[in-house]
């Protein structure tokens, strides 16, 4: 999570080993970090195969894959936020018995 945040903030130098004494190509560092982030996705289906990783490390295809991943990441975040709102609404609308009807839960979860 920390690396993802640093990448978004474009603070890549904070990720690189300080023992390198700034003796590295920042474009290569950026590509390596992006490939690493792609490889560490929670869902196996969102991770690149080893052959895709090799192609990306050779300098091809990582921009397209990165763009796709950012889209998936944004969608996942929106889904997560929507679920949180749904559960908050369910919690706020419980009746005195502390139960919620299935139809109300379905109705709330379909609202976006």
CA distance 76 to 82: 10
CA dist 11 to 16, 29, 32, 49, 57, Å?
A: 10, 11, 14, 27, 21
Q: What confidence score (pLDDT) does residue 69 get?
A: 67
CA distance 53 to 103: 46
Q: What confidence score (pLDDT) does residue 111 get?
A: 58
Q: What confidence score (pLDDT) does residue 1 get?
A: 58
Domain boundaries, the chain: 2-110
CA distance 106 to 108: 5
Grouped pLDDT means (10 residues each) for the chain, 112 residues: 83 90 88 87 86 82 70 66 69 54 55 56
Q: What confidence score (pLDDT) does residue 60 get?
A: 75
- Do 41 and 69 contact (CB within 8 A), yes or no? yes
Q: What confidence score (pLDDT) does residue 109 get?
A: 56
CA distance 92 to 45: 36
Tokens of 45: 């289906």
């Amino acid at each position: 999570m920390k690396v993802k945040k640093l990448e978004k903030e474009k603070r890549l130098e904070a990720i690189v080993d300080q023992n390198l004494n700034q003796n590295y190509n920042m474009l290569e560092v950026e590509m390596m970090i992006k490939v690493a982030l792609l490889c560490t996705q929670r869902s196996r289906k969102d991770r690149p195969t080893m052959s895709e990783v090799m192609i990306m490390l050779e300098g091809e295809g990582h921009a397209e894959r990165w763009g796709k991943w950012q889209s998936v990441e944004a969608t996942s975040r929106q889904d997560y936020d929507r679920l949180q709102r749904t559960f908050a609404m369910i919690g706020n609308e419980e009746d005195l018995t502390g139960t919620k009807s299935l139809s109300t839960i379905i109705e709330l979860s379909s609202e976006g």
